[in-house]
Structure 1
Amino acid sequence: MAEERSSPENPWPVRTVARKIFDWINRLGDVWVEGQVTQLSARPGTSTAFLTLRDPSADMSMQLTAPVGVVRELQLTEGSRVVVHGKPHFYPNRGTLSLRVDEIRQVGIGELLARIERVKKLLAAEGLFDPRRKRRPPFLPNKIGLVTGRTSAAERDVLTNAHARWPGARFRVVNVAVQGVSAVPQILTALSTLDQDSEVDVIVLARGGGSVEDLLPFSDEALCRAVASCRTPVLSAIGHEPDSPLVDHVADVRCSTPTDAGKRVVPDVAEETQRVRQMRDRGRRALHGWVDREHRLLASLRTRPVLADPHGPLDRRAEDVDRLRERARRAVRNRLDSEAAGLTATRARLTTLGPAATLARGYAVVQLVTPGGEVGGVLRSTSQAPPGAFLRVRVADGTVHVVAIGGGDGRPMITDEHGHRSEEGGGGAEPGT
């Protein structure tokens, strides 16, 4: 019959819970566990040694018991990386969990390097080493975050060289453990704190040189991922030039030493002052060159005839205008004279050919006058003037009125108003008033 579930009305006693936990752990069986030794107690005269195994990437630990002979044979010390084989055991009376170890294998340098290489390939495959994701640190950061060991040579090198290059450099230093079991958790906390500080523009991880085991925290996968996820650019200055922990590949900038980090995190005030002076000199030379060039251009423009003697072209053009105006005046005058001569000749011809000149030579113009007194057309034939017709005769100095009468030879005769007669075809009628 299955055991009833616990409830407020039917709670389990402590012994029941302890027994169930004991049963669950016993079903786990044997396990292999890797970790770092943080505490070791192997008292003389005892057959059992007590150890604390810690996960370097997380704040978790486990108690171990092992034969003293196994511990002494391996010469384990605090900080050693080991792989143990054992069976978890729960003590119901004390409510504690322990791992009964029957075999311990110390992780050697070769194995550590192999594991670092596996983590390196994993991080590289995920793109954490890609140069395109790396950010350029600011030219002159407002404040520099420094994660390093307390009163360490690395801290002194970074601060001394940075202040020597830029005396006004501001730092926020966070001291952490840089080796051992507590290094990774403390560095992770320091990175998070500095990354959240709005005044910090760049973070420097600094540590002096050491063995592979000493630098092992800076190849931790969790630390590498934390550096990659930082919003603030990170400079890695771990160990010496030959040392290359994984955090160097993930950081935005790798510095060969803490001294190099102090030189690269801030500009050199002397160099920048010299650069400003050089730029000022270049600007001054460029400005002087431009002014000289423009001055020569103005001088060249001033030597041109149009600017050297601005009235000369105007005077020459004025002379041209006067000359052209005189030519136009002469042309107009000649044309007027020619037309006047032509008009005079035409007037002379008209005068010569006009009726007044003809009348002056003794001719007369005879016009028929109707009974109503209206003057008709010019008389061109004797047939147009029957006897008794009234005629108007125009001579050079006036007109006379006559009456046509018939002649003795049958030709009509013309008499004036006083009865004087003349035959047709004579030298014209006598002038009358």
Structure 2
Amino acid sequence: MSQEREPAATAADTDPENPWPLRRLAENLKTHIERAPATWIEGQLIEVSVRNGHAFLTMRDLEVDNSLPLTLWSSVLRQLPERPEVGSRVVAQVKPSFFLKTGRLSMNVSDLKPVGLGDLLARLERLRRQLAEEGLFDPSRKRPLPFLPQRIGLITGSNSDAEKDVLRNATLRWPAVAFEVRHAAVQGPRSVPEVIAALEELDAIPEVAVIVIARGGGALEDLLGFSDERLVRAVAAARTPVVSAIGHEADRPLLDDVADLRASTPTDAAKRIVPEVEAELALIAEGRARLGRAVELILERGARELSQLRSRPVLAEPEGMITVRAEDVERLRERSRLSLGHRLSRAGDEVTQLAARVRSLSPQSTLDRGYAVLQLEDGAVLRDAELAPAGTGLTARLASGRLALVSDGAVPGSQPGAPSQPRDVSAPAASAEAAAPSTDPSTESDVNA
């Protein structure tokens, strides 16, 4: 007899030989699901069905294409101030419930509140303040539009009046304008991702100089996509200037605040992104006329100035200036020549005087006055008689020529520097007298001079 196996403790322990009973899985799911707390969710009602006093709803997310069935029991439905309607935006408090008998998951609504216009505006205002504090609406971030864009990007609904208005009015103003059109949903849950995708695609095209996001107005609920935070940040991050042309004056979407330029309508956007060709041609014609007048005035003024200059003496007789300057140059040349002659004459006189003084101080001049220079045999000048004892050979240098002498010795009683006694004119006497001058010619060249 086989022994029964105990049921697996957890779902991971089950296998084909030891499965769970269905009721155990259902009970575990019910316990796990109903343990979740009640949650407030927000969305738009796309289906409302009332049967046997109960309401069965389908709510869709506001941003993505997700929906969820809800159950509103009669006890809760009776307490609501008004019955829910298709298309209304609501917040609901839901709690999941699992039915063991059928294995169905149900989201039971314990409270349901419509989101009114005031609530939407309050939320938008809070988001507006938050983005403004981050600097996304700062005027310094806004870029100027090009005067004549090479190509214009347009994001709008397919075959919409906004697209026709922008294309028609822009072409009327500037026939050569070129567009890159991208169609996207402009309301509903698909609008935000499609508009962002079109914006990024156009922003990546170098030829596109400006991007226009256009829609022809609508109710506040229809324009909520243009106040979506994701779209606002995408526009702020775009490198290309963006123009908002939503066409809703009562409640401005946040796109108007972050865009580089806000146009009141798509038609106004067309007028502001391209110039009017007729007006520009008129401006060009006016500019050419003003330029022509300015050139004529300049020529007339120049002709008058030229006539005045030609009437001046310096231009009437231009050679007079040269003649005066030539006379000045000749006068200065004569003064320079006379001054240089006087200086050369004075310098010549000074040289003559200096030459006479030099000749008067030369050793040769001393010899010419009758003096002689006695030299020993080694060429030394004899200055003391004691240095030439008797028999010493001497040489006497005269004004003209030399004499060979022999010393008789010093004269008794002679003192150094005393005048020599007169003696007989003989060779010894001549030698004694020749020794008297103290002039010391240092070189033979000085003597000869």
Normalising by the smaller structure, the TM-score range is: 0.5 to 0.7
Distance 1:324 1:24 in 2: 123
Counterpart CA distance in 2 for 1:198 and 1:322 is 76
Report the CA distance shift for 1:321/1:109 in structure 2 as closer, same or farther (over 3 A).
closer
Alpha-carbon distance in structure 1 between the residues aligned to 2:327 and 2:59: 115
Q: What secondary structure sits across from 1:181 in the alignment? A: coil
In structure 1, the residue matched to 2:311 is 303
User: Aligned equivalents of 2:25 and 2:59: distance in 1?
Assistant: 26
Report the Cα distance in structure 2 between the residues aligned to 1:20 and 1:192, rounded to whole angstroms.
48
Give the secondary-structure state (helix, strand or coil) at the position aligned to 1:42. Answer: strand
Counterparts of 1:327 and 1:222, CA distance in 2: 96
Q: Which amino acid aligns with 1:110?
A: G
**Per the alignment, do residues 321 and 208 of structure 1 end up closer, same or farther by CA in structure 2, a change over 3 Å counting?**
closer
Matches within 5 A, 1:401-420: none
**Aligned-pair distance for 1:324?**
9.9
Distance 1:2 1:267, change over 3 A: farther
**1:57: Cα distance to partner?**
3.0
Q: Is 1:137 aligned to 2:178, yes or no?
A: no
Indicate the residue corresponding to 2:295 in structure 1: 287
Tell which structure's C-alpha radius of gyration is larger.
1
Question: Residue 267 and residue 22 in structure 1: after superposition, are their counterparts in 2 closer, same or farther (change >3 A)?
Answer: farther
RMSD between superposed Cα atoms in Å: 4.0
Is 279-288 or 25-34 further displaced after alignment?
279-288
Question: Are the structure 2 counterparts of residues 285 and 127 from structure 1 closer, same or farther at C-alpha, using a change threshold of 3 Å?
Answer: same
Q: How does 1:249-328 map to 2 (within 5 A)?
A: 249-314=257-322
Which of residues 47, 51, 65 in structure 1 aligns to 2:71? 65
User: By how many angstroms is 1:197 displaced?
Assistant: 3.1
Report the residue type matching 1:287 in the other structure: V
Mapping 1:174-185, distance limit 5 Å: 174-185=182-193
Higher normalized strand content (fraction of residues): 1
Match of 1:230 among 235, 238, 245: 238
Q: TM-score, normalised by structure 1?
A: 0.64
Residues 35-114 of structure 1: matches in 2 within 5 Å? 35-37=43-45, 39-42=46-49, 45-67=51-73, 70=77, 74-89=82-97, 98-114=106-122
Decide which of 25, 30, 41 is 1:33's aligned counterpart: 41
Provide the C-alpha distance between the structure 2 equivalents of 1:228 and 1:96, rounded to a whole number of angstroms. 46
Q: Deviations over 1:58-79 (max 9, x none)?
A: 4443332334783997454443
1:415 maps to: none
8 A Cα contact 1:79 1:180, kept in partner: no
Q: 1:95 to 1:259 in 2, by over 3 A?
A: farther
Shift of 1:183: 2.8
Q: Please tell me whether the aligned partners of residues 203 and 235 of structure 1 are also in contact (alpha carbons under 8 angstroms).
A: yes
8 Å CA contact 1:154, 1:207 repeated in 2: yes
Aligned residue identity for 1:40: E
In the alignment, structure 1 segments of 5+ residues that lack a partner are 336-433
Q: Using the TM superposition, give the Cα deviation of residue 266 of structure 1 relative to its aligned residue in structure 2, in angstroms.
A: 1.1
2:48–2:84 contact (8 Å) kept in structure 1? no
What are the superposed Cα offsets for residues 114-166 of structure 1, whole Å, 9 maximum, x if unpaired? 11111111111221111111122222222222222233322222222211111
Asked if the contact 1:237–1:257 (Cα under 8 Å) also holds between the matched residues in 2, the reply is yes
Partner in structure 2 of residue 242 of structure 1: 250
The alpha carbon displacement at 1:257 in A equals: 1.6
More divergent stretch after superposition (201-210 vs 309-318):
309-318
1:55 aligned partner, one-letter code: D
User: 1:249 Cα deviation (Å)?
Assistant: 0.9
Q: Which secondary structure does the structure 1 equivalent of 2:222 belong to?
A: coil
- Are 2:211 and 2:243, in contact at CA under 8 Å, matched by a contact in 1? yes
1:41 Cα deviation from its structure 2 partner? 4.2
Alignment deviations for residues 330-365 of structure 1 (CA, whole Å, 9 cap, x no partner):
x9xxx9xxxxxxxxxxxxxxxxxxxxxxxxxxxxxx
From 163, 170, 175, the counterpart of 1:155: 163
- After TM superposition, the structure 1 stretch with the greater mean CA deviation from structure 2, 235-244 or 60-69, is 60-69
The gaps in structure 2 that reach 5 residues or longer are 1-7, 343-449
Cα distance 1:314–1:240, how it changes in 2: closer, same or farther (>3 A)? same
Selected match of 1:193 from 201, 205, 217: 201
Q: Residues 283-328 of structure 1, C-alpha deviation per residue, up to 9 Å, x if partnerless?
A: 3333333333333333332222222122344456667889999999
Q: CA deviation at 1:188?
A: 2.7
Q: Which moved more, 1:243-252 or 1:196-205?
A: 196-205
Q: 1:104 & 1:134 partners in 2: Cα distance? A: 42
Q: TM-score, normalised by structure 2?
A: 0.62
Structure-2 change in CA distance of 1:172 and 1:325 (3 Å): closer
CA distance in 1, matches of 2:279, 2:155: 27
Q: 1:78 to 1:278 in 2, by over 3 A?
A: farther
Q: Answer whether contact 1:63 1:97 (CA < 8 A) is retained.
A: no
User: What is residue 132 of structure 2 aligned with on the other side?
Assistant: 124
Aligned equivalents of 1:7, 1:200: Cα separation in 2:
62
* 8 Å CA contact 1:62, 1:98 repeated in 2: no
Check conservation: 1:79, 1:181, Cα contact below 8 A: no
Question: Could you tell which deviates more after superposition, 163-172 or 87-96?
Answer: 87-96
Paired residues of 2:63 and 2:190 also in contact (CA < 8 A): no
The CA distance in 2 between the partners of 1:27 and 1:243, in whole Å, is: 43
- C-alpha distance 174-75 of structure 1, shift in aligned 2 (>3 A): farther
